[in-house]
Amino acid sequence: MKQENIETPKPAWLKVTYDQKKVDRMNKLLSGLKLNTVCAEANCPNLGECFGNGTASFMILGPNCTRACRFCDVPHGHPKPVDLSEPLRVAQATKKLGLTHVVVTSVDRDDLPDLGADQFVRTIHALREITPKTTIEVLTPDFQGQTDCLDKIIAAKPDVFNHNMETVRSITPKVRHRATYSTSLSVLKYVKEHATPKTFVKTGIMLGLGETDKEVYTLMDDLRAVNVDFLTIGQYVQPSEKHYKLHEWVPIERYQKYYHEAKARGFKFIASSPLVRSSYKAKEELMAVYGK
């Protein structure tokens, strides 16, 4: 498979426009509350659309990650101590923005005894108290596969539990040197087996890393074997020359093919197109399943 250079002209679909004034307003509000969003920290291509529509995915536990995955643009470094006032600020921002669905994610915090699980729980509880009608999705790290951490979040009953597989088995060790395919799959399996039936389990993958059709289909089969409900599929965009090399801009037709393959395997909801990211249109995804 031909490996693209980062300087290769980007396809037309990657060029997006948005209302800068709405984005500036959102940035001002979040900055005032001293909150981070994965939208900004990871340079998401949908930042303009989501901020323009008054939605955001809050990134708790600080902007610095203890890991350095080769595909990710989130800064790597020594994190600061846990901010116990952060959950309340997330809830306050959610209420002020009038969000009906909120996504809470985090960097990896391998430096903490609880690996960050308690802060997720505190945030869920704060949201339930201040804006009880808002549905909640958590996008978590793998917590090193520790089930005691998963049990805490399961007990808090988020509406959606999301943990990303990121890529197929053969490529995982190349881009996630401190994580494994098996651990991520076991996280999804454990949550599905132990969470309330009202909690949907979700994962996402990137294309363009060098994966084959067969590998993608095997990944889908692995996910359905542990009863994962939702699947998102999007294009990998290489952040810089230092990151994992982009292998190709995947054509739209392949996303459509994967959508139909995933649908045939029984996923409750699939989002498959180049600009799809884990949290993109998360509200619409949940509403589709609820039939609203």
- One pLDDT digit (tens) per residue for the chain, 292 residues: 555 555 566 777 766 666 667 667 667 777 777 777 655 555 566 666 665 555 668 999 988 777 776 667 677 788 899 999 999 999 998 898 888 888 999 988 999 999 999 999 999 999 999 999 999 999 999 999 999 999 999 999 999 999 999 999 999 999 998 899 999 999 999 999 999 999 999 999 999 999 999 999 999 999 999 999 999 999 998 888 888 899 999 999 999 999 999 999 999 999 999 988 777 667 677 777 776 5
**Per the domain annotation, does 74 fall within a domain?**
yes
Q: Domain containing 75: what range?
A: 12-290
CA–CA separation, 44 vs 232, rounded Å?
Answer: 15
pTM score: 0.89
Residue 3: inside a domain: no
Annotated binding-site positions: 39, 44, 50, 65, 69, 72, 279
Let me know if residue 286 belongs to a domain.
Answer: yes
Residue with tokens 């391998």: 110
The torsion angles phi and psi of 222, rounded to 5 degrees, stand at: -60, -40
Largest interatomic CA distance in the chain: 52
Strands, E, within 11-168: which ranges? 36-37, 57-60, 101-106, 135-139, 160-162
Residue 71 is assigned to a structural domain of this protein: yes
Residue 20 lies in a domain: yes
Known binding residues for [4Fe-4S] cluster: 39, 44, 50, 65, 69, 72, 279
How many domains, the chain?
A: 1
For the residues of 252-274, what is the DSSP string, one character each? HHHHHHHHHHHHHTT-SEEEEST
Give the contacts of 121 (CB within 8 A, at least 6 positions apart): 152, 153, 155, 156
